[in-house]
Amino acid sequence: MSNGFINVLKPPGMTSHDVVSFIRRIYGLKRVGHAGTLDPAAAGVLPVALGQATKLIEYTTDADKSYRAELTFGFSTNTGDTTGEITCRSNFAMPEETELAAALHSFVGKNEQVPPMHSAIKIAGKKLYELARNGITVERKPRIVWIHKIELIRSDDPTILFDVTCSKGTYIRTLCMDIGAKLNIPAVMSFLVRTRVGSFSLADAFTIEEIAEQPNLALLPVDTALQHLPKVVLSESEARSFQHGQVIPYTGLAQPVLRIYQPNYTFIGIGQLSSNSLMPVKVMSFA
């Protein structure tokens, strides 16, 4: 069985589910999952896990993400991007770059975002976009997200291009609408490329065509998604105990979540420190 991650360069027009279906066909596997949904119109980095690596998806989805986004001023839609129905238009004067940069910078830090109706969040067992398609709008509670960095790249009336690094759960469509509101101009997201998910970067991503031609080359090690976690190499006896789900006495690192290796540097799982003990959280089995 193939185990590992693939750094997929998702093209516009494919859903994240389409990508998973494609990977299943190429590798002949059922156990495949993706980390961090991308809208069908968006492009960019989509980490896909195969086999045992699916156990580690949660550690990828929790990672910070980076995007390059295009925002268009002058109108709004019911989806927050250019795929939706236009709900209003407005004549406006394009702000100066200094005003644009200041508006973008005002979002750095902690933000409250109301998830868009056209999203995959479930309320009472129903996905919001399913309700929206039936003309139903429900109240959504604001969620806390973090904008770590945001930078204006270019201004070209009526659009701007900007880069943003943010926490998981951040909707760039909503951010674009909020930027427009800050400037008192309706705005939508007109294009989006995800450039990074944790340790997966756009520069290292594989296109659909490259994966189809050289599937073995595209498959990355299982622990690729865990480079942000401290590494611990156990002794042979400790590694055996860990693999049997036993708690091991351990001190030395302050971080509670660790990636665990055998003496030969084979990755064997995720451990959690508690009261000078190392407890197995995820144990890998490659047999």
Return mean pLDDT, the chain.
90
Q: Are 209 and 227 a contacting pair, CB within 8 Å? A: no
Q: What is the average pLDDT across 191-203?
A: 95
Catalytic residue among 39, 81, 178, 223: 39
Structural domain contains residue 217: yes
pLDDT in tens, 152-169: 999 999 999 999 999 988
Structural domain contains residue 194: no
Residues 146 and 91 in one domain: yes
256 band by pLDDT with thresholds 50, 70 and 90: confident
174 band by pLDDT with thresholds 50, 70 and 90: very high
Identify the pLDDT of residue 120. 61
142 band by pLDDT with thresholds 50, 70 and 90: confident
Beta-strand (E) ranges in 21-108? 32-34, 43-50, 65-73, 75-77, 86-89
Q: What is the average pLDDT across 100-125?
A: 82
132 band by pLDDT with thresholds 50, 70 and 90: low
Tally the domains of the chain.
3
pLDDT at 44 over 80: yes
Residues 94 and 185 in one domain: yes
pLDDT at 104 over 70: yes
Residues 178 and 252 in one domain: no
Residues 87 and 158 in one domain: yes
Among residues 222, 160, 171, the alpha carbon closest in space to that of 194 is found at 171
Q: Are strands 126-127 and 75-77 parallel, antiparallel or unpaired?
A: unpaired
Residues 176 and 95 in one domain: yes
Could you tell me the CATH number of the domain that includes residue 257? Answer: 2.30.130.10
Assess whether 64 carries a catalytic annotation. no
Tokens of 62: 């929790």
Residues 222 and 112 in one domain: no
Among residues 258, 254, 256, 253, the alpha carbon closest in space to that of 269 is found at 258
**3-class state of residue 182 by DSSP:** helix
φ, ψ at 54 (rounded to 5°): -65, -20
Residues 91 and 153 in one domain: yes
pLDDT at 1 over 80: no
CA distance 258 to 286: 19
Q: What is the pTM of this model?
A: 0.87
CA distance 6 to 137: 37
pLDDT at 99 over 80: yes
CA distance 285 to 65: 29
Which residues form the domain of 274? 231-283
Residues 115 and 185 in one domain: yes
Q: What is the average pLDDT across 86-98?
A: 96
User: Which region among 115-129, 180-194, 257-271 has the lowest average model confidence (pLDDT)?
Assistant: 115-129
